[in-house]
Structure 1
Amino acid sequence: MSAVAELFQRILRKTRRPATHALEAYLTGLFIEAPDHDPEIGSLVHVHNDGRVTGFIGVMPLPMAVEERTVRAAVCGSLMVDNHTDDPFAGARLMRAFLSGSQDITLTETANDISTAMWRKLRATVLPDYSLEWLRVIRPAGFVAEMAANAVGAARLLSPLARPIDSLIRRGAPGPRLSCLAAAVPEGTFPSAEVDDETTAALLTKWTEAYAVRPLWQPENLRRIVAEASSKALYGEMVRRVVTTRDGRPLGLFLYHGDPGRIGRVFQILAAPGRIGEVIDSMLAHANERGMVALRGRTQPVLLEALLGRRFVFLHASSSIVHTRDPTLLEPFLAGKAFFNGFAGESWSRLIGDRFD
């Protein structure tokens, strides 16, 4: 895996620093020695004529239920090709080899524009309702300062000046609801509390049962996924809370990473049927109390209606894609009845957002 780790550093992390043993060990554990390893659904490397490894597709098997049917899915994670100009068809060869595998369904949630074009040529389907990112500004001045700091690091020195501006905006904004201009906490927000790995895994299993397409995680593997999703040091501190009624009944779960004064990255929102709006309100209230300037996350069809009424902005950064040779397996994805993205994807892995020092 050392050659793959070096590719990861250069192509995906865009750094010339040598890959660490920790990164190489994680890639091995994720793509070769994982508890859910399937010998018939594996990762692939592209080898140049001179013997160099010049491409890689990281593949994670994911057993899924489609209605009452059990199928084999494969999640395409890290897709990278070195020196595309020397061999412009290397990526296409990797993709064709991967899609001709034993899986019934192939999924990816992080396809950039170049990858999406390749997927389309191979008759894959882009899922628009799963491919949007949402943004919710909580502190407008703080958000502008943070965006400037992301472009020019020294601009972060101006962040303290944004706080009094946001205080003025709040005092002048009418109404109790959160908006793009002020982040007053909604009245009647349900409480939330920190939750551990075991409870998270149990709630994941419970609240995904209503989906027509859902993962069939083995308990050992689900515990590993939940634990690893917490480790994203590049994004900030992990916040994982269960939302409850006044008498303690669980309504939903939200998980995001971020530090006060920064933009939080929401990894997953789950809810009992009909309660998604209340979970979103509780999440926004908590982020407001922590001093977040904004939250951003990925859509799922079940979230869209609730998001539309709460002053969210939508944009596109990468595409969620499904490929299958069986039209009956595609239908639930097109109808928005599949649980896909987040824990049912590749973004839970430490390769997205963590350090390997």
Structure 2
Amino acid sequence: MAEIRALREEDIPAVAGLFHGIFRRGEPPPPGVLLDDLRAVYLEDTAVDPQLPSLVHVEDGHIRGFIGRHALPMVLNDRPLRMALCSSIMVDHAKAGPLAGAKLLKSALGGPQDLSFTDTASDVSLRMWRGLGAAALPQYSLDWIRVVNPAAALADAAAHRLPFLRHAAPLARFADRRFRRNRGEAVRWSGMGPTPSRNGTVTRPLDVEEFAAIFDTCTRRFAFRPGWPPEAIAAFVRKAMPKPSFGEAVIGGVFDRRETPIGAFFYHLRRQSTARVLQLLALPGQEGPVLDATLADAAARGASTVRGRMQPALMEAMLGRRLALFHASASIIHSRDPAITAACAGDACLGGLVGEQWSRLIGGETG
């Protein structure tokens, strides 16, 4: 007999086994750090809500499926809302019933939340969400990528197939320095020029509290946005910083000539590899200068490419800056209130910290 119930402490080893086999394609047993991470994220985190627990699907006394949930306070104009952030949906299809995944998701969407959201849905998950009345958000479902050091990008791509080519990194750095010196100022697909931005902005490192203040200022432009106090924003930033698989955390602010903050960026960098932008913030009309400053900062720190998640507010700034777009996972919204669904179609702050990317399960030691 099958049942769906709240996650318990004693379920963690079985959930870790599912996670390790499905998402990591690893052989049992799962590593101990994965058990610790799952326990911390889904049982101990401050975003865990007893009214919106993570769920397990149990058949014949065995856990055959799991879906994670966190409760995030959001605001639609002045109306407070509770959003269920759904993540890590997984089912042992070889041993579970054919509808186990759909039943698990239906139960997760049927809670007391005002809306449910995910930004990491696979094609299979997307079909299940849509079958339950959810709406895909294509404008939030694309990733962008920009080559900033072309020789390093080629070396990094080759090293994924032939690891010994990582020893060519010094030669790639030399080639990129020569390349930047010997090219004009025109914006091209093949890397950044020697002066990638002439917009008069200044970039400097930020501490977590400074970033939280800029986050609060820059997200007020959206009708649908986080309803988080500064200390909660700072807590999410701290949780998102340690991602060993993605590299060191880099947090910077972008300021105009009067030293007024116009935006900020938060990315993780593996030198001579990809800088993964977790959060990009900009005041209205300042998206282009902030994007330029982010690309220039990552290029100067030795990134080969810069990658981030698309936001509708950034779309116009993307024009003319030689960014390529691709689809990796889908962002999806489910709500019984049409006003919420309509706001999330464009005038919303979603993704980054308002998504699954803060989790230590993405880019962490198990990532």
Q: Which amino acid aligns with 1:347?
A: Q
When residues 211 and 344 of structure 1 are mapped into structure 2, their CA distance, relative to the original with a 3 A threshold, is: same
When residues 181 and 265 of structure 1 are mapped into structure 2, their CA distance, relative to the original with a 3 A threshold, is: same
Q: Which amino acid aligns with 1:201?
A: A
Inter-partner Cα distance in structure 2 for 1:266 and 1:75:
20
- Asked if 2 retains the 8 angstrom alpha-carbon contact of 1:213 and 1:332, the reply is yes
Greater Cα shift, 317-326 or 159-168 = 159-168
Greater Cα shift, 32-41 or 66-75 = 32-41
Q: Aligned to 2:97, what secondary structure does the other structure show?
A: coil
Aligned to 2:3: none
Deviation sequence 1:156-201 (CA, Å, 0-9, x none): 23334434443454344322x5532231122345221111111122
Q: Which amino acid aligns with 2:292?
A: D
Q: Aligned to 1:354, what secondary structure does the other structure show?
A: coil
Aligned to 2:365: 355
Q: Which amino acid aligns with 2:288?
A: G
- Alignment map for 1:1-357 (pairs within 5 Å): 1-16=12-27, 18-49=29-60, 51-84=61-94, 87-175=97-185, 177-184=186-193, 185=195, 186-334=197-345, 336-355=346-365
Measured after TM superposition, the shift of residue 90 of structure 1 is 1.6
> What is the aligned-residue RMSD (CA, Å)?
2.0
How high is the sequence identity, in percent, across the aligned residues? 41
When residues 224 and 5 of structure 1 are mapped into structure 2, their CA distance, relative to the original with a 3 A threshold, is: farther
Q: Aligned to 1:71, what secondary structure does the other structure show?
A: strand
Inter-partner Cα distance in structure 1 for 2:289 and 2:167:
36
Greater Cα shift, 312-321 or 246-255 = 246-255
Q: Which amino acid aligns with 2:51?
A: E
Inter-partner Cα distance in structure 2 for 1:146 and 1:189:
32
Measured after TM superposition, the shift of residue 139 of structure 1 is 1.7
Q: Aligned to 1:75, what secondary structure does the other structure show?
A: strand
Greater Cα shift, 187-196 or 231-240 = 187-196
Measured after TM superposition, the shift of residue 42 of structure 1 is 1.4
- Asked if 2 retains the 8 angstrom alpha-carbon contact of 1:3 and 1:53, the reply is yes
Q: How high is the TM-score relative to the length of structure 2? A: 0.90
Inter-partner Cα distance in structure 2 for 1:182 and 1:3:
46
Measured after TM superposition, the shift of residue 81 of structure 1 is 1.3
- Asked if 2 retains the 8 angstrom alpha-carbon contact of 1:261 and 1:293, the reply is yes
- Asked if 2 retains the 8 angstrom alpha-carbon contact of 1:41 and 1:74, the reply is yes
Unaligned runs of at least 5 residues, structure 2: 1-11
Inter-partner Cα distance in structure 2 for 1:156 and 1:204:
37
Q: Which amino acid aligns with 1:74?
A: A
Inter-partner Cα distance in structure 1 for 2:200 and 2:305:
18
Measured after TM superposition, the shift of residue 356 of structure 1 is 5.4
Q: Aligned to 1:110, what secondary structure does the other structure show?
A: strand
When residues 273 and 74 of structure 1 are mapped into structure 2, their CA distance, relative to the original with a 3 A threshold, is: same
Inter-partner Cα distance in structure 2 for 1:192 and 1:228:
24
Inter-partner Cα distance in structure 2 for 1:167 and 1:289:
10
Inter-partner Cα distance in structure 2 for 1:36 and 1:292:
33
Aligned to 2:8: none
When residues 97 and 152 of structure 1 are mapped into structure 2, their CA distance, relative to the original with a 3 A threshold, is: farther
Unaligned runs of at least 5 residues, structure 1: none
Measured after TM superposition, the shift of residue 273 of structure 1 is 1.9
Q: Which amino acid aligns with 1:47?
A: V
Measured after TM superposition, the shift of residue 140 of structure 1 is 1.9
Greater Cα shift, 247-256 or 78-87 = 78-87
